[in-house]
Amino acid sequence: MTERKRKPSTTKKMVKWVNNLVTGILMVLLIGVASLVVITKASGGEPQFFGYQLKTVLSGSMEPGIQTGSIIAVKLAEDKAGYVEGDVITFMEEDMLITHRITEVFNSGDSILYRTKGDNNNAADMNPVLSDNVVASYNGFTLPYVGYFINFSQSKNGALLLLIPGFLLLIYSGITIWKVLAQIELPQKKQAEVVGEDGGKSST
Sign of CA dihedral 144, 145, 148, 150: negative
- Using CA atoms, how far apart are residues 70 and 57, in angstroms rounded to an integer? 5
Of 9, 35, 43, 59, which residue is the catalytic one?
Answer: 59
DSSP 99-157: EEEEEEEEEETTEEEEEEE-TT-SS--SSPEEGGGEEEEEEEEEETTHHHHHHHHHSTT
Q: Where does residue 3 rank: exposed (0-12), middle (13-18), buried (19+ CB within 10 A)?
A: exposed
Sign of CA dihedral 38, 44, 48, 52: positive
- Using CA atoms, how far apart are residues 167 and 178, in angstroms rounded to an integer? 17
- Using CA atoms, how far apart are residues 120 and 171, in angstroms rounded to an integer? 45
Q: Is 59 among the catalytic positions?
A: yes
Q: Where does residue 90 rank: exposed (0-12), middle (13-18), buried (19+ CB within 10 A)?
A: buried
- Residues classed as catalytic: 59
